[in-house]
Homo-oligomer: A and B are copies of this chain.
């Protein structure tokens, strides 16, 4: 989902951007017009997130799945292992790919409890010699979100923020690398953003493809080859939109309120359930079940009638999942909550 205002602006600018005589899609990435679009997008992201000067912002391709390899390839820097916190499906994928390049120490694992909790800081079995610590602040499928930033001392912290970036204010300086596929909170698919502390750039493994080396992109302002120009432009529109909403502080307030409305209904009802520990509940993805799974089909059909779509839970967990990213307006959540109440009254 994208903010309606953003899509409408993109539509207006589709045939001609400014007085450039062409569509953004047709611009050379090295031309003056596109460079201004690209640079202004980066400047706005830096402003919105408060990214310190000693971090590079890279506009990449390949999704978080590519970062699962790029992180070890770039950050091992001669060390033999890294720490991973395993808190859900995305962590698991990151671990599987990292194992192909290094020894993975699973420093926390919540799989036994069905990925329904966040490990405490005290429970983390961190290795002081690890090249880095990798975690997934928000797990989309389980709907589990860390309510704290792990403390890792001098070991760089790496976060797959695909589904939680830009959802609230955060302290970038606590991280070595933050990466995120664009398609949740940033813009259309096809763009991946990596925010990398400069001292971690420049020591990639020997066989790292040029395109998987952070240094390649850091040195060329992400213009080593043609970047995903249109997605980058759309991301820039989203960053402007966030500024207009009042920045991440405002987004955080709205997002917390949106999530609370759904969780409050779930907790006040015997008809709906959510298995996640209260302190680990995601603001972005709210999985929930109906007391009687046989009603799932009727629930989805009724929701679709009100324009509430893509509510079906991931095939691995079943049930429902409300993804309430930044672009979902509070009124959309209100419509969902109202429908859930009605459906419970009729079927509970």
Contact = CB atoms under 8 A, between A and B. Distances in A.
Interface of A: 1-2, 7-8, 10-11, 14-15, 21-23, 25-26, 28-29, 31, 61-66, 68-70, 73, 97, 100-101, 181, 183, 188-191, 207, 209-212, 224-231, 234, 307, 309-310
A207 B14 contact: no
Contacts of A190: 61, 190-191, 227-231
Contacts of A1: 22, 26
Contacts of A191: 190
A7 B2 contact: no
Nearest to A226: B189
Given A101-B207, A226-B181, A229-B189, A234 B25 contact: yes
A23 B2 contact: yes
Nearest to A183: B226
Given A1-B26, A230-B230, 5 more contacts: A61-B66, A97-B210, A190-B191, A209-B209, A231-B231
Contacts of A230: 188-190, 230-231
A274 B234 CA distance: 39
Given A31-B310, A230-B230, A225 B63 contact: yes
B23 A7 contact: yes
Contacts of A211: 62-63, 65-66, 69
5 contacts: A11-B14, A11-B15, A21-B309, A101-B207, A228-B231
Contacts of A307: 21
Contacts of A69: 209-212
B26 A2 contact: yes
Contacts of A212: 69, 209, 212
Report the copy number of this chain in the oligomer. 2
Nearest to A7: B23
A75 to B, nearest CB: 14
Task: Return the 9 tightest CB-CB contacts between A and B, nearest first.
Answer: A190-B228, A69-B209, A61-B61, A11-B14, A65-B225, A25-B188, A190-B190, A63-B225, A189-B226
A307 B310 CA distance: 45
Nearest to A67: B211
A94 to B, nearest CB: 11
Contacts of A66: 61-62, 209, 211
Name the residue among A14, A25, A191, A230 with the largest chain B CB count within 10 angstroms. A25
A63 B189 CA distance: 15
Contacts of A63: 61, 211, 225-226
A62 B226 CA distance: 9
A89 to B, nearest CB: 12
Nearest to A188: B25
Contacts of A62: 61-62, 66, 211
A326 to B, nearest CB: 13
A7 to B, nearest CB: 5
A2 B15 CA distance: 10
A61 B25 CA distance: 16
A109 B81 CA distance: 43
Nearest to A323: B28
Contacts of A21: 307, 309
A221 to B, nearest CB: 15
